[in-house]
Every structure is written in structure tokens, then in C-alpha cells.
Amino acid sequence: MTTNLLEFDLDGLAAFCERLGEKRFRATQLFRWIHQRGATEFDQMSDLAKSLRGKLAGSAHVQGLPVISQHASNDGTIKWLFDVGEGNAVEAVFIPESDRGTLCISSQAGCAVGCRFCSTGHQGFSRNLTTGEIVAQLWFAEHFLRKHLKTEDRVISNVVMMGMGEPLQNYNALVPALRVMLDDHGYGLSRRRVTVSTSGVVPMIDRLAQDCPVALAVSLHAPNNLLRDNLVPLNRKYPLAELMESCNRYLEHAPRDFITFEYCMLDGVNDQPQHAQELIALVQQYRRPGVWCKFNLIPFNPFPASGLLRSPMARVTAFGKLLSDAGIVTTVRKTRGDDIDAACGQLAGDVKDRTQVVKRIAQQRMVMMAQVPSVVEPPKGV
């Protein structure tokens, strides 16, 4: 059985080449052919020695993920569904803007965290993706877009690990994939332009700070532990105090001088003025010199199983103004790709659930109805 070279960062590829009796510079040449030029056939790699090409032909291959479907939004967003085998499929989304091209990548087939407002979490969890399966999404998208746009220039300038899955629960596959993205012989992305989004896996936030610090986005979504326990079940293991302290520690190593807090606006659940005041108090409790955090308010993209509604835009705007007036940099995310279910929280793919998540979420909702009625029964109107 041959090895898929998309599984390796440059150090891993160098070790593979050494096992073939080759020097490290051959790995660098090979790495460039694969990632910068999108080559899949070793005979294409003209500056490699024939002897090496022969060795590679018998021991390795370069293979991306099969594309099940591709959908283009009216706003230019493109969503791909990739087959990762055994009945599982994951989604990736390209978002073009005037000053950047952002690719949203999946790290798992499904997600075990089970956030109430995320359709991926409602689908359950099957397995972690390998490094090669994570990298393959970028490899395919970059070279597909170059061909489509008839350009040799890099199309994807930003990568966000915000697709299906909790990236930090697939840490061992994630870090080599990040290194491929950052490597100048690969995609040459800046650490500031690669973002890992997490629901708050505190020990792995600390490890990422040491191993491969990139931009960090934290899915906060609630200003207190009671509400966050209900919306983001991982909070029961790593409550807000631990999470906020880990964010402060991460800033010592981060390429940016701030953490982004994602906050999905849910009608009558977490969008009231008192919630904004609690957030302000939380941020001030852990404040560092300068701007240490930014809030990204996300209009919720409803789906039937959630039992939740989107906050009216007037309330989102008022909520953001309260944060801004308190000196907290706040933006409202523009919804992109919602007509093809490619917007935030909508990626669901196709997952063979091993976690009985539907049953668990139903049980959680019964608890919520008893503890926090407003979570289940949002009020009407603004």
C-alpha cells in the first residue's frame, strides 16, 4: 500500500524521503511540486532525479478527496462536499472578498461538542480527519480556483478552521496541517491569516500556543456559566474562568495581539441588554493593556432541530453598540452563502453518527426547559 504524501508536513516528508535514501532538499522540491503547483504525477516533477521518481512511483501517491458536489452562491461563495469514506462526507467553503479569499476547512466528520445552535453538532460525530484529509481541502480548493480563474497567483489568502468539527479535539492531525499551510514551500500563509476556532478546549489552547501559534477565535456565545453550559456543553468541563485565563496565556505567543470571541445571536436567549452588560464585566475582569479581544456577533442561521430563532437585526445592532460604547471592538459578521447552506453553523455534510447525538440533545433540551425556559421559548418581537 502506498503513502499519500498530503499526509506530511515538510519535516514529515523529509523523513519519508530519508527512508528512501534521499536528502532533505529532495523533500523540499517534492513539497513545492505538490502544494505550490498541485502536481499529482511524479513524472511531472521534472527537476527530481529519475531514480527518485521511480522510488516514489512504487511507494507513494498524491491524492485529494473525491468531490461529491459543488454549489455556488449568488454572492460568489462556493461550497464543496468531500467524500472521506465509510459513508462520511465533510464540507469546505470558499468566501471571496475584494481584499482576500478565505477558505473554511473541516477538521472532523461531524462534531462531538454538540452546541445547540450548530447543525454540525446536531448531526453527531463519526471520526477525526487525518492531516492529509484536512490539507486536501486546501490543496483542491487552491488549485481548482487557480484553474477556474486562469491565474498562477495564490487565490486563498486566509484559512479558518471553522468548518465541521472541533479542531482542538483533533490536535495531532491539526498541527501538521497548519504547518503545511504556513510553510513558505507550501502555501506560505501568514500566522495572522490562519485561524483556529475552538469551543474552548483549554489544555489544547495552551499546547497550540507552544506548538504552532496562529490566530485564535473562541466560540463564546454566552456571558455566564449557566447559559453557556446549555449552549456549549464543553463549558461544563472548562468553565468560563478557565477559558478566559487560557486566552490570556495564549496572547503571550499569538501572532495577533487580540483574541476573537464569536457570539451567535439567539433570539431571547443571549441577546438581551443584561447579557451585554455581563459580557462587558467578563472582559473587564480579564482585561490586558490595549485591545486584548474583539467580538464578532454572528446572526444565527436557523435550522428546525435547534428550536432557536435569529435575533432581530435591530437587537443585534443595539447589543453591539453596548459593547462598543464600553470600549470593546465589535463587528457584526456579514452572512455569506446562506442560500446554499454554507453560512456559519450550517455545515453538516453527511456523517455516520457514533455518538447518539440526537438522543443526547433531546435530553439536554428537556433539562433546559426546566432550568432556563427562555432558551427554548424565545419571546416574539424586538
- Domain count along the chain: 2
| Range with top average pLDDT, 60-74, 107-121, 332-346 | 60-74
pTM of the model: 0.90
Active-site residue, from 7, 91, 133, 142: 91
Both 171 and 144 in a single domain? yes
Both 48 and 104 in a single domain? no
Both 112 and 13 in a single domain? no
Contacts of 25 (CB under 8 A, 6+ apart): none
Both 355 and 279 in a single domain? yes
Annotated active-site residue 118? The verdict is no
Last residue of a domain, one of 24, 45, 61: 61
In a domain, 190, yes or no: yes
- CATH number of 271's domain: 3.20.20.70
Predicted pLDDT at 289: 67
Both 32 and 74 in a single domain? no
Annotated active-site residue 41? The verdict is no
In a domain, 234, yes or no: yes
Out of 33-47, 52-66, 114-128, 136-150, least confident range: 114-128
Contacts of 236 (CB under 8 A, 6+ apart): 229
Both 36 and 76 in a single domain? no
Both 43 and 153 in a single domain? no
Predicted pLDDT at 173: 98
In a domain, 150, yes or no: yes
- pLDDT (tens digit per residue) in 69-94: 999 988 899 999 999 999 999 999 99
Both 348 and 233 in a single domain? yes
pLDDT of 382 over the 90 cut: no
Predicted pLDDT at 304: 82
Both 142 and 226 in a single domain? yes
Nearest 5°: CA angle at 245, between 240 and 251? 130
- pLDDT (tens digit per residue) in 212-224: 999 999 999 999 9
Both 225 and 283 in a single domain? yes
Q: How far apart are CA 119 and CA 111, in angstroms?
A: 10
Last residue of a domain, one of 41, 61, 81: 61
- CATH number of 45's domain: 1.10.150.530
Both 181 and 73 in a single domain? yes
Last residue of a domain, one of 19, 46, 61: 61
Q: How far apart are CA 21 and CA 344, in angstroms?
A: 47
Q: In angstroms, how far is CA 231 from the centroid of its own chain? A: 18
Active-site residue, from 17, 118, 247, 344: 344
Both 287 and 237 in a single domain? yes
Q: Are 94 and 71 in contact (CB under 8 A)?
A: no
Q: What percent of the chain has pLDDT over 90?
A: 80
In a domain, 313, yes or no: yes
In a domain, 381, yes or no: no
Q: Which of 160, 146, 217 is nearest to 193 (CA)?
A: 160
Tell me the helix, strand and coil percentages in the chain, rounded to 5: 45, 20, 35
Domain limits for position 55? 3-61
- pLDDT (tens digit per residue) in 185-200: 999 999 999 999 999 9
